[in-house]
Structure 1
C-alpha cells in the first residue's frame, strides 16, 4: 500500500486499493486480494501474505474473548441484513497511526465480505510498542480492538498517550477487548 508523507508527518495513501477478505458460511477465510498481501508485507508480516491465510478460521485469528464475541456479532449482523455495515477503526504500527474504515457486507451463499479502506495515517511522536499477552496479569492492560484506546488506571486513553506518559520506551503488554464507546457500534 503506497503512501505519501507530508512535511507535517501526516501520511496519505496514494492508491485507493482496498484490503479485501471473504469468509464462507463457516467463517473460514476463502479469499484475499493482492492489497492484503501488500499490507501484510508492509507490516513485516510475510507469514500472512501469499494466500497463507486461506483456510484459516477468522474467529481463531481474533485475539481476546470480547473481540471474538464482537466479531461473531458483526458476522451475524451482516448475514441477517441486506445492508452494509461500516465503521471507522485504527490499525496502528509502532511508528504510524492508521485510520481505517471497515465495510462489511453479505456475499453469496452466506459468505461475508470485508473491505478495509485506508483513510489516512500519521507518525507517532515516539515508538508506541504494544505486545499481545497470552493472558491477563498485573502488568497487562486492555486495548480496544476497534479504536486502539488503552485502559490504564480505569481510564481509556489513546495508545500514544499511554505509552509515552506511563511506559516511556518500554513495550506495553496488552490483551484485546472492546471499549464502552466502541461496543455501541453494534
Structure 2
C-alpha cells in the first residue's frame, strides 16, 4: 500500500466490506474531525454504511461495477474539501483478485480558504448538494 502522507489507500472485498487501510487512513480521519472513522472502528463494515445519499451511492455502485466488469483501473479527478481547505484530488479504483477493489485517493493540490460552514462535518446540511465524499 502507498505510504505517502498525501495519499490514502483503502480496500474493499468482494462483498464491499472495508478490509484494508494504509498507514495514513486513521490520521486523515482524525485530521478531518472524523476519529469515528478510524480503521479499527470501521474494519469489515460495508462501504455503503458511509455513503449518505442515493446519488452518491449510485455513482459508486456504477464505478465499482465498471471496474469489476472490465477488470481495469479507473481514475478521475474530484474535490474533497475541508472547512478551511480546498483539496483537488485524484481517485484511482483498481480491481484486485477475487473481486476485491483498492481505492487510492491522492491530493494533487490544496488551496487555503476562509472557513465555510457547508464544509464543516458537524454542521447541519440539507439535501441540495451532491456529496461525492459522502
Q: Normalising to structure 1: TM-score of the pair? A: 0.63
Gaps of 5+ in 1: 1-14, 134-139, 149-175, 177-186
Larger radius of gyration: 1
Equivalence map 1:93-132=2 (5 Å):
93-124=82-113, 126-130=114-118, 131=123
In 1, are the aligned partners of 2:80 and 2:86 still within 8 Å (CA)?
A: yes
Higher relative contact order by CA 8 Å / sep ≥ 6: 1 or 2? 2
Give runs of ≥4 in structure 1 deviating > 6 Å.
none
1:19 aligns with 2:5: no
Q: Choose between structure 1 and 2: higher strand proportion.
A: 1
Q: Which residue of 2 aligns with 1:45?
A: 34
CA distance in 1, matches of 2:92, 2:42: 20
The alignment status of 1:63 with 2:63, answered yes or no, reads no
1:144 aligns with 2:130: yes
Q: Which runs of 5+ in 2 are unaligned?
A: none
Task: Check 1:16–1:47 CA distance in 2 against 1; reply closer, same or farther (3 A cut).
Answer: closer
Match of 1:75 among 43, 61, 64: 64
Aligned residues: CA RMSD = 1.9
Taking the aligned partners of 2:40 and 2:90, their CA distance within structure 1 comes to 23
> Distance between the aligned counterparts of 1:20 and 1:96, measured in 2?
20
Change beyond 3 A, Cα 1:129–1:50: same
